[in-house]
């Protein structure tokens, strides 16, 4: 059993490292941060999907608490913690990715900020952001 766990851990490290290296090779003009955030977004999305697939009863996904794990579900508390912890990661990274792609002061960037429940610093900043966005759209 310990050898199987070790194989899974080593396989995961190798797989995600290879994904990152392939991302760097595919996008050589993009920053290290961009590639890291892209791979992290893929990883978090996959983790949430797999955790969701392991829930057997969606009417009560995290109970009974401290229940004996089933073959598909590794424990209700672990699945809930993984789901909650990883769910925000894609939104966090998606705030930064549009900025590097050239969408810094656009509606897309504002939508990414709102998706993570980021409150703008002031009402004035939101208004100026929308004006800049409309001006940049008018220029194109």
Q: Would you write out the chain's pLDDT as a tens digit for each of its 140 residues?
A: 688 889 989 999 999 999 999 999 999 999 999 999 999 999 999 988 888 887 777 777 766 666 666 655 576 777 778 888 888 888 888 888 888 888 888 888 888 778 766 554 444 444 455 555 555 555 55
CA–CA distance, 126 with 78 (Å, rounded to integer): 39
What is the per-residue pLDDT for 27?
A: 93
Same domain flag for 76 and 125: no
63 within some domain: no
CA–CA distance, 30 with 48 (Å, rounded to integer): 26
Phi-psi region of 102 (alpha: psi -120 to 50; beta: other; left: phi over 0): left
Helices 107-115, 123-139: inter-axial angle, 10-degree rounding: 140
Give the global pTM.
Answer: 0.68
Same domain flag for 36 and 14: yes
Q: Which two tokens stand for residue 133?
A: 């966005």
Same domain flag for 28 and 80: yes
What is the per-residue pLDDT for 122?
A: 44
What is the per-residue pLDDT for 77?
A: 74
Same domain flag for 25 and 74: yes
23 within some domain: yes
What is the per-residue pLDDT for 70?
A: 61
What is the per-residue pLDDT for 104?
A: 83
What is the per-residue pLDDT for 82?
A: 82
Q: How many domains does the chain have?
A: 2
What is the per-residue pLDDT for 132?
A: 56
| Residues 6+ positions from 38 with CB-CB distance below 8 Å | 23, 93, 97
């Amino acid at each position: 059993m310990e050898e199987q766990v070790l194989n899974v851990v080593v396989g995961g490290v190798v797989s995600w490292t290879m994904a990152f290296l392939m991302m760097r090779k595919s996008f050589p003009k993009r920053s290290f941060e961009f590639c890291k955030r892209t791979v992290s977004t893929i990883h978090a999305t996959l983790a949430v999907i797999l955790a969701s697939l392991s829930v057997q009863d969606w009417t009560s996904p995290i109970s009974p608490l401290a229940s004996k794990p089933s073959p598909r579900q590794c424990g209700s508390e672990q699945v809930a913690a993984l789901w909650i912890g990883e769910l925000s990661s894609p939104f966090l990274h998606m705030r930064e990715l549009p900025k590097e792609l050239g969408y810094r002061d656009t509606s897309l960037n504002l939508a990414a900020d709102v998706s993570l429940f980021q409150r703008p610093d002031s009402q004035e900043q939101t208004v100026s952001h929308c004006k800049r966005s409309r001006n940049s759209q008018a220029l194109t």
